[in-house]
Structure 1
Amino acid sequence: MPSIAYILSAIGIAAGITFILRLIPFGIKSILKDNKLIADLAAWIPMGAILILGVYVMAEIDYSSTTTALPYLIAAVVTVLVHSWRKNIALSLLIGTATCVVLANWVF
């Protein structure tokens, strides 16, 4: 059985490494603050991730069954319409997801 000193040193080392890893982004933030590539990535990655997830979900739909496909397709249209109207990604995703859940579970 390991000693108390061994266990405490292992916990201390793990905590120290975790703390340093959490601190590194704040240290390099000032270095990368004016970097154009980082600014471009910050602008494009969120929408790119949503686009990739959307394509993945639409590709996985079983289009041979109307009962399966229709809730997803209607929810996708609702999501696009809400986003076109309000320009708010969080609201669009929330309403689109709610539409899909309601249609898939209680309508179709």
Structure 2
Amino acid sequence: MTFTEQIITIAIVVLGTMATRFLPFVIFNSKTKTPAYVQYLGKVLPSATMSLLVVFSLRHVDVSGVYHGMPDIIAVAVTVLLHQWKGNMFLSIGGGTILYMVLIQQVFI
């Protein structure tokens, strides 16, 4: 890919990203009422996305293996407990990820 093609590709990606960020504010400005289905999607999509990510990340857990998926189960449980306790998404995800990394590198070798 030449330098010119790289610049064009980056420009197209930037324009596409900006369009998806700004277009909702243009379409649903303060003068028009947001449709009910868009409000509904705003309520259900975050939970659906997180559920999809959990399923995606646990899809290859081998419960019949030596460790029976214990690092994964422990890390998910700690993530849920941290989120219930503090309600901070970054703390929950970060804590669960760090614990999982420690478990698979140090404990479940």
Same fold (TM over 0.5): yes
Query: Over residues 62-87 of structure 1, what are the superposed CA-to-partner deviations in whole Å (9 max), with x where a residue is unaligned?
Result: 11224361111100110111111112
Tell me the TM-score normalized by structure 2.
0.68
Show the 5 A alignment for 1:34-53: 34-53=34-53
Q: CA RMSD in A?
A: 2.7
TM-score (normalised: structure 1): 0.68
Shift of 1:32: 6.5
Question: What does the per-residue CA deviation read over 1:10-65, in whole Å, with 9 as the maximum and x for residues that have no partner?
Answer: x6xx77xx37x625333213177522221221122112111111123223201122
State the percentage of identical aligned residues.
32
Larger relative contact order (CA 8 Å, sep ≥ 6): 1
Considering only CA atoms, is the larger Rg found in Structure 1 or Structure 2?
1
Distance 1:95 1:32, change over 3 A: farther
- Alpha-carbon distance in structure 2 between the residues aligned to 1:107 and 1:32: 56
In the alignment, the residues of structure 2 paired with residue 89 and residue 32 of structure 1 have an alpha-carbon distance, to the nearest angstrom, of 32
Query: Whose helix proportion is higher, 1 or 2?
Result: 1
Instruction: List aligned pairs for 1:1-108, cutoff 5 A.
Output: 18=15, 22=19, 23-30=22-29, 34-67=34-67, 69-108=69-108
Q: What 5-or-longer segments of structure 1 have no aligned partner?
A: 1-6
In the alignment, the residues of structure 2 paired with residue 54 and residue 92 of structure 1 have an alpha-carbon distance, to the nearest angstrom, of 13
Secondary structure, in 3 states, of the residue corresponding to 1:67? coil
- Structure 2 alignment gaps of length 5 or more: none
